[in-house]
Structure 1
Amino acid sequence: MDVTELVNILNGLNDEDLDMRLYFTRKKPSGRYQSYSPTIDPGLQKEIKDIVKSAVERVQEVEQRPFSPIGTIEGCIETYAPNEVTSFNDILESLNDDFVNRQEIPPEEIGKLTFYCLKITIDEGDILFFRRVTKFNKLSKGGFFGKFTNGDFQKLDNTLLGIDSNVDIVIFGGEMLILNHISLERIFSIQDQYQEKASQTLDLVSRTDRITNFEQFREDCLSDGRVTRALTKLLNEENRMNQVFENFENVIQVIDIFGLNIELEDENTKLVYEEKSQLLDITRLMRDSFYRTWINNRDGLDEGV
């Protein structure tokens, strides 16, 4: 995403004629999203616009990398295609005028809201800014917030929500810019998506017939969040994984060099899976994460998994 272009667009907006909507959203137990869209005071609209503009200005010179399920590189932000996020259309639907609740947010709902979305509509389309909500309930066990009203100090209840100076995700022109990696998972609830893609990867692994006790291996993989993220990424590296199993003699050599706790059977043609402690090492083998440097012949491990 061209962040400088986006900043220029925001700078060029007429503060007296902003086409802006603010939505607060939660995911219901049914899996559907419920959004509320209260009216915004005109003066507050400009303030909110300045907040998101400042947030994207701060990342104009930051390196952008494609999104990786296993984590981002420090000092980088990530890009992704919104249509790659399974829940994205469901969230958009909840923002649609036919579904969004324009009435006052019920007090019992406020504590359940998980993120807000600011939508600014321009000639080129909608700019969406997502941010997890800040809830002022951290003092609930040991104190409270208060305010002065007509000289009296009054306790504030825990139905307050905060809008801070940060933005987690920006979507514009069919592109997604991820400023906060973990927020993509929290806002769009993509843990289920990781499970689905990890299952697809495991189907491919099963066909190679290189791992014994495979059904237990599958079950243990899908119960480990770190492994499901690695398997999700591996789905886009299918050729690498196939080459690993086709060059199985190199797999045997890596097991020996790095002293991995993995046994072999069937004339050294299969990995023996026995317990969860082996999950990461087997996943690293499938991702070809072990290496030797060219200059010093130093053995190493890609810590991405």
Structure 2
Amino acid sequence: MNIGKIEDGITKILVSNSSKVSLFIIEKLDTKDGLDYISHKPSLDLELQKEIIKVIKPTLSKIKNTEQIEFNENGRPNGVVEWCKKDYVGVSLERLLNSLKEDMRKEKLIDSDKKDIYCIRIEIDSGEYVYFLNRIPQLRKFEKGIWGRLVDSTFKKTTNAFIGIEPNFDLIIYQEEILVVNNVAMQRIFDLRTKYIENANSVLSSFEDSEKIEGFEQFKMDSIEDGNVVKRVSRLMEKPERMTRFIDNFDKVEQIIIEFDLNIELNAEKTKIKYTDKKQLNDIVKLLNDAYYKTVLSGEKGVDELR
């Protein structure tokens, strides 16, 4: 993502005195058709729009020169940000952006106390928008209490309708890309677990025909139910060649099990993996992802935890 262009665009807005900044408060809804969103657009005067830009601009400048790598469901190294195409998220993103349109917005949120996300939309060029998304902390323990503030040593009661605009943000959406500043937020804002389950089901259904796992039905069920494992299996949807290598090179599996001391057992004929326990899940799925390696120079063994 071209962060420099975004930074230049919002800098011009600061000196132009033009109204280019919008704020949306967004509520997530679970529907029978999946995740949906309801948005409300409070009014912002010009001075407040400038203040919002001043709050987020330093963070934008900070990440401008940060390395960008492809989004990985399983995590990432320190000191980088991630990116993905908008179609990686699919319908959830379409629904969120659609909720921001004037004819789709609600005058008030369905539940004024349930505010899940805020979105700052900035028009950096004519008809060209950049979106900054951030999750809103839910302070539920105060729902039945009293909010207040000190004014001249006097406690004044106020409402609990607080929204904090932070310097940091979870995601940036611009043109056809999403910049993922917060990996976990990406998964939660768009409920990607549903996507991972669908992908994993598809991957495992295709893999079943290989007949390389004894006790496959239990293995499949346990994989889908485990939040971390299902992401690793889902990733095989994007890397099908790993599954092919596993099947074609199954004769090497026993050697890998021994060298890395894996919690994996083969059948008597050594033609299948015997799945009997959830404790085997991680080792098996990492094996499917070809995560075990040995370096060329020193023969040092290791595990790629991002596979």
Q: TM-score, normalised by structure 2?
A: 0.91
Q: Which residue in the other structure is 1:118 paired with?
A: 120
Partner of 1:260: 262
For 1:22, the equivalent position in structure 2 comes to: 23
Q: Find the aligned partners of 2:16 and 2:187 in 1 and give their Cα distance.
A: 33
The SS at the match of 2:297 is coil
Deviation at 1:105, TM superposition (A): 4.7
Shift of 1:297: 1.8
Matches within 5 A, 1:89-108: 89-101=94-106, 103-105=107-109
Do the aligned residues in 1 keep the contact of 2:39 with 2:109 (CA within 8 Å)?
no
Q: 1:51 is matched with which residue?
A: 55
Contact in 1 for aligned 2:293/2:302 (Cα 8 Å): yes
Q: Give a deviation string over 1:25-58, Cα, whole Å, max 9, x none.
A: 1112323211111111221111112222222111
Q: Distance in 1 between matches of 2:168 and 2:300?
A: 42
Q: Relative to structure 2, which stretch is displaced further, 208-217 or 154-163?
A: 154-163
Counterpart CA distance in 2 for 1:207 and 1:139 is 51
Question: Are residues 1:130 and 2:138 paired?
Answer: no
Give the distance between the partners of 1:51 and 1:15, measured in 2 at CA: 17
From the superposition, tell whether residues 52 and 224 of structure 1 become closer, same or farther in structure 2 (CA, over 3 Å).
Answer: same
Contact 2:22–2:41 (8 Å) recurs in 1:
yes
Q: Distance in 2 between matches of 1:211 and 1:155?
A: 63
Matched, 1:301 2:306: no
Corresponding residue for 2:273?
271
What is the CA distance between 1:144 and its match in structure 2?
6.6
Q: Tell which deviates more after alignment, 225-234 or 290-299.
A: 290-299
Aligned residues: 301
Give the Å deviation of 1:288: 1.0
CA distance in 1 between counterparts of 2:146 and 2:191 reads 31
CA contact (8 A) 1:134 1:163 kept: no
Deviation at 1:145, TM superposition (A): 5.3
Identity across the alignment (%): 30
Gaps of at least 5 residues in structure 2 are none
**How far off is 1:198 after superposition?**
1.4
Determine whether 1:42 maps to 2:46: yes
CA contact (8 A) 2:38 2:99 kept: yes
Matched AA of 2:295: T
Cα distance change of structure 1 residues 262 and 139 upon mapping to structure 2, 3 Å threshold: closer
Q: Is the 8 A contact 1:52 1:129 kept in 2?
A: no
- Report the counterpart of residue 239 of structure 2 in structure 1: 237
Deviation at 1:215, TM superposition (A): 1.0
1:12 lines up with 2:12 in the alignment:
yes
Q: Any stretches of 5+ residues in structure 1 without a counterpart?
A: none
The alignment's C-alpha RMSD in Å is 2.2
CA distance in 1, matches of 2:193, 2:262: 29
Task: After TM superposition, give the deviation of residue 85 of structure 1 in Å.
Answer: 0.3
Is 1:32 aligned with 2:33?
no
Structure 1 residue 104: Cα displacement: 4.7
Q: Deviations over 1:102-140 (max 9, x none)?
A: x3557xx233111111111222511111111145x3773
1:118 & 1:85 partners in 2: Cα distance? 19
Query: How far off is 1:290 after superposition?
Result: 1.1
Residues 167-210 of structure 1 deviation map (CA, whole Å, 9 limit, x = unaligned): 11111121111111111012111111111111122122212211
Paired residue for 2:163? 161
**In structure 2, distance between residues paired with 1:166 and 1:210:** 46
Q: Partners in 1 of 2:76 and 2:158 — Cα distance?
A: 38
Counterpart in the other structure of 2:293: 291
* Partner Cα separation in structure 1 for residue 132 and residue 180 of structure 2: 10
Task: Compute the TM-score of the two structures, normalised by the length of structure 1.
Answer: 0.91
